[in-house]
Structure 1
Amino acid sequence: MEIAFNLPDNIIIILSSCLVWCVIAYLAYRIYQKQTDKPKIWKIAVIIIIGLFSFSINWQIATVLVKISILPLGVWALYIFFKWTNRNWQAYRRFAWLGFWANFIFLVSTLLAIPIHHAVYPKDEAVTYMSRIENSSLVPIHPSAVEDGVLDKENLEKQLQTMTQERIDSEKWYQDTYLNSSEINESDERFPYQLVGTSAAWGSAIHPVIFVENDGKGILITTAENQLYFRFHASIIEGVD
């Protein structure tokens, strides 16, 4: 069973994986202690790793892809190899099966990590995507942007915790931007600035792209998973009310 997060630097998954390997090591130690014929440690490690290989089916949970193990291909391969070479299969059999069942330990840890990750890094709060703004600045990305527009960092920091999330009305935005303009060339981009230099919460594995609204009172946060729209009470662009 394989686990693949869309964002690989997820600290919650890293910690849960380390915990799972500690559990596997403990179980292997218990098996080792109970056996009369004790294999070498490095051979046990190799057997467990080979035992992990299996035929799996994919299962998508939110943004997490897990592969549920069905057939113990690694165990079967080891069994054939040991029988073919007349080696002592009984001394390694339980370690091979430990490798296969470890897939399900990883699966359980992943299912537990999902709600923990959402609790530690709430996806409906802007501070998750903009945890550090010390080096932030505005970059005009459309001709309708004010050329000398400067980010008001102090104002942004004050409002970061109080900004409210609103629904993204794509159809209305499109009509306001294009259909309601007298000429298509005169249309103003709703989000003519990009906010750069910010950092998401450490360990969240989130890499957002943030756009600022033309009135400086709204931001559109785009990630690999979704889009979120937040509004400020006051503009975060100096000189724009």
Structure 2
Amino acid sequence: MIINFDFTFNAIAILMGILAWSVLGYLAYRIYQKQMRKPKIWKILIVLYIGLFSFSFEWSMFETMIKIPILPLGVWLLYIVVKGKGERWQTYRSFAWLGFLANFIFLLSTLVAVPIHQAIYHENELSTYISTVDNASINPIHSSAENLTLNNEKLLEQLHEMKQETIYSDQWYEETYMNAESTSRKERFPYQLIGTSPKWGSGLQTIIYLEEDGKGILLSTSKKQLYFRSEISLIEEGE
């Protein structure tokens, strides 16, 4: 079986999954039609499910973990169980192997879905992670945060203008925690940006932080962090 994208709702993955299941259903129907002795549908489903089990090789591609099936463990198990009943094995053998073949169908759907997803949802563009800002606002998460508000119009204007920059983790840590007294310490990202939505269908889950000067945005996903910088501040004096 394929380990899918680490996304809540991934339109491309869902569409490819539906296509893969449709192909599997069609092949199972063709096999069923050719059978002289028609097996029960629920038994076919069980055989297909068991046939899916395999010894697989894991491989990471574009930050997506996939499994390449090598040994048909499910097929072997079914053969051991019914090998004494030759006629029954002949009836279900094709479905067992189709179950193993399904691993490659799902693998192919994933291999196709990954580059399509990368082409549609550019992971290094801010607009992929922040698409709608109508209900966006900032939430102070540190005592050094000032009483400021988000300028939604400026944020919307800067979504395609902000450039990705390098994250200087060590330098930022030293500036925040090593070179300042605890009483006067200021958090570099004292605001959390909330109320935004990623590009539809991307399924990206992101925690977004806003820099103290209102010009930097730090995106934190389950896999990596991205830093974008604006030429103008996105925050203004609060009411």
Q: If the length of structure 2 is used for normalisation, what is the TM-score?
A: 0.91
Q: Verify the 8 A CA contact 2:2 2:110 in the aligned structure 1.
A: no
Give 1:219-230 correspondences, 5 Å limit: 219-230=217-228
Partner Cα distance (1:56, 1:160) in 2: 42
**What secondary structure is seen at the aligned counterpart in 2 of 1:65?**
strand
Partner Cα distance (1:171, 1:76) in 2: 53
Partner Cα distance (1:15, 1:87) in 2: 38
Partner Cα distance (2:177, 2:35) in 1: 75
Partner Cα distance (1:177, 1:47) in 2: 60
Partner Cα distance (1:88, 1:224) in 2: 48
Q: Verify the 8 A CA contact 1:140 1:194 in the aligned structure 2.
A: yes
Mean alpha-carbon deviation: is it higher for 50-59 or for 228-237? 50-59
* Counterpart code for 1:176: E
Q: Verify the 8 A CA contact 1:163 1:230 in the aligned structure 2.
A: yes
* Counterpart code for 1:223: T
Say whether 1:134 aligns with 2:148: no
Shift of 1:39: 2.5
Structural RMSD (CA) = 1.9
Shift of 1:87: 4.7
Say whether 1:48 aligns with 2:44: no
Q: Which residue of 2 aligns with 1:164?
A: 163
Structure-2 change in CA distance of 1:8 and 1:64 (3 Å): farther
Q: Which residue of 2 aligns with 1:114?
A: 114
Partner Cα distance (2:8, 2:74) in 1: 26
Shift of 1:23: 0.7
Q: How many residues align?
A: 238
Partner Cα distance (1:75, 1:171) in 2: 53
Q: Verify the 8 A CA contact 2:8 2:204 in the aligned structure 1.
A: no
- Alpha-carbon displacement from aligned partner over 1:36-69 (angstroms, at most 9, x marks no partner): 3332333322221221112223222233222222
**What secondary structure is seen at the aligned counterpart in 2 of 1:234?**
coil
* Counterpart code for 2:231: H
Q: Which residue of 2 aligns with 1:210?
A: 208
Partner Cα distance (1:193, 1:3) in 2: 34
Say whether 1:188 aligns with 2:186: yes
Give 1:11-50 correspondences, 5 Å limit: 11-50=11-50
- Alpha-carbon displacement from aligned partner over 1:110-149 (angstroms, at most 9, x marks no partner): 1111111111111111111111211111111112211x20
Partner Cα distance (2:122, 2:28) in 1: 37
Q: Verify the 8 A CA contact 1:55 1:69 in the aligned structure 2.
A: yes
* Counterpart code for 2:168: D
Q: Verify the 8 A CA contact 1:52 1:74 in the aligned structure 2.
A: yes
Q: Verify the 8 A CA contact 2:55 2:71 in the aligned structure 1.
A: yes
Q: Verify the 8 A CA contact 1:6 1:63 in the aligned structure 2.
A: no
The share of aligned pairs that are identical, in percent, is 55
Any gaps of 5 or more consecutive residues in structure 2?
none
**What secondary structure is seen at the aligned counterpart in 2 of 1:189?**
coil
Q: Which residue of 2 aligns with 1:231?
A: 229
Any gaps of 5 or more consecutive residues in structure 1?
none
Q: Verify the 8 A CA contact 1:217 1:231 in the aligned structure 2.
A: yes
- Alpha-carbon displacement from aligned partner over 1:59-101 (angstroms, at most 9, x marks no partner): 2223322222222121122222223456521122111101101
